[in-house]
Amino acid sequence: MIKELLLHHKPVPLSSFELSQFSRIIACPNPPIEAVQAGCAIAIEDDRFNVRQIVKQLPFEPDLVSLSARLMSFQPRGLSQLNCPTVMKLGDTFHFGDGALSQMIRYCQQLGCDYHWTYQSPQHLHFFAESGLKNLFWLPVSIVLDFYVPPASEKIYDVIFRGSKSELHCYRNYLLARLNHCDVQTKDYVSSLQDYAKAHIVVNTSLNGDLNRRVFEVLMAGGFLLTDRIRPQTGLFELLEEGVHFECYGNETELHDKIQFYLAHPEKAAQIAATGHQRFLDRYSPQAIQQKLYDYIFNHQIESPFQGDHDRRSQSTVKLQTRIKLYELVQELHRIYPAVNLLCDRISPEIVSDLADLSRLDLTYRVEPNQITKVQSAYMQAGIQNQIRLQQSLQADSTFQLVLMDHAESLQDSIAHLSHLGFLIVLNPRLMALQQLNRCLEQYYCFPIELSVELFGRSYCLSLEGQGILYQKITPEGDSTKKDCVANLAVKQIPVEKVIKQQVKHRSVVRFAIDLLRSIRL
């Protein structure tokens, strides 16, 4: 039996302890006294504790120590000095909150665990690998579920949703508000599973293109799952087959159409639900997936696709920090808006490849004619050729909500395709040319801005941290009364002096010297 120590950053409720199981001990702040008395819990006094002092209190020598990247201030010391593997479960990298993608990467680099794994964001593993972290893998989210199969019962609901409608879930709230006959409730875990078995159709919408728990909860309960069609890089289609184990929708129209179809053909929905349920029992039960984790850590055995080989995008350190910060910003806009229409205008192909895993991103990449064949070949090998629209030229009337560029030569042409109140991102501008760049952009009604989003009473700045500058286009003929107030998104114009100050703050000495040399040559 595996002897495990789990380090938790916050108090753990008594219901999470197995009081008769002494091979798994949880160390956390303020543990329940009953768990401590049963020998299943150890108290952590503060966030910066020495884990070796915790190990000394154990009744055994642990086979592994596990923790989660959730709270960045949780800083256990001495992990590298333990005589067993240390395993980091990656937290949510698909939204701001406990820690964004870049913060989580830095956190994992600081702690230096032996293994790193995720169950909701396999599409982000390449960023962790490119950042130098080791032994990365992913597993189905069913590993964290409490196993329960409700008894078979009659269908008393047509269409239901059970779960959170918090301010984080912008797209979910947008869709549910448009489903007039969907029974929407928040219930406890067991009651929700029971309702899944009683419904003809269970609707699911991910928070931000992630492979969430509800996919496996519905299959476990024997329900018919209708979920949003997220990208292949999430691993969903490696585990389940659309139309066989579950159903998908790609937009609001397809969602309505499939609801009507399966309500009219309940026998087809029932067959898919039964096949999906059996698939879960055969392959993805919590016990089976937990064993896969142990097999990898102790026997170095992990099969495809859990080593991440389903995501064929090439790993590269080219402009890594720029790519991570840009991805964070675009991913957050993707969370906020029902759809994002984006033009990548002759920028690095690695950046475009990163963005391809955002499911509601309508992505156009304008490529120089002499590069088109090379880029097409690379994207075919990466399996993302159907997720990116390659163009050598654009139609005169085409417009985009968001334009990304890293050059100033064709500035006017790029801005011509940016919609009123759209966002322009100029990547890695030359410091010595910032004044000229801003004067030029002002002629085209593009002004430097700061973006922030309000979540649960806290403001998060969507900053590129010196990797680029964000502008908004405000045309005189546009609707001056229209404000971009979607999901508490705040837009604030800032003076050019502040833009320059921010860029100087984040520039390294090397980058500053390169900019200086380039300006002298010009």
pLDDT of residue 508: 59
Identify the CA nearest to 209 among candidates 342, 339, 364: 339
DSSP state of 146: P
pLDDT of residue 487: 61
Element (H, E) at 201: strand 199-204
Measure the CA–CA gap between 242 and 228, rounded to whole angstroms.
11
What is the pairing mode between strands 446-455 and 458-461?
antiparallel
Identify the CA nearest to 222 among candidates 248, 250, 199: 199
Measure the CA–CA gap between 93 and 121, rounded to whole angstroms.
7
Residue 331 burial (CB count, 10 A): 26
Domains of the chain, start order: 4-144+288-299 (3.40.50), 157-284 (3.40.50.2000), 320-521 (3.40.50.150)
Residue 186 amino acid letter: T
Cα distance between the two ends of the chain:
68
pLDDT of residue 516: 45
pLDDT of residue 318: 86
The helix-helix angle for 213-221 and 266-283 (nearest 10°) equals 110
**Residue 233, CB half-sphere, CA atoms under 13 Å: how many?**
24
Residue 80 burial (CB count, 10 A): 11
For the chain of 522 residues, list the mean pLDDT of each consecutive stretch of 10.
94 88 91 95 94 96 95 93 96 85 95 96 96 96 96 96 96 96 97 98 97 98 98 98 98 98 98 98 96 95 94 90 96 96 95 97 96 96 96 95 85 93 93 86 95 92 92 83 66 89 69 49 50
**DSSP-assigned states of every residue in 397-444:** T--EEEEEES-STTHHHHHTTEEEEEEEEEES--GGGHHHHHHHHHHT
pLDDT of residue 515: 52
pLDDT of residue 510: 47
Identify the CA nearest to 94 among candidates 402, 338, 327, 314: 327
DSSP state of 14: G
Task: Give the helix, strand, coil percentages of the chain, each rounded to 5.
Answer: 40, 20, 40
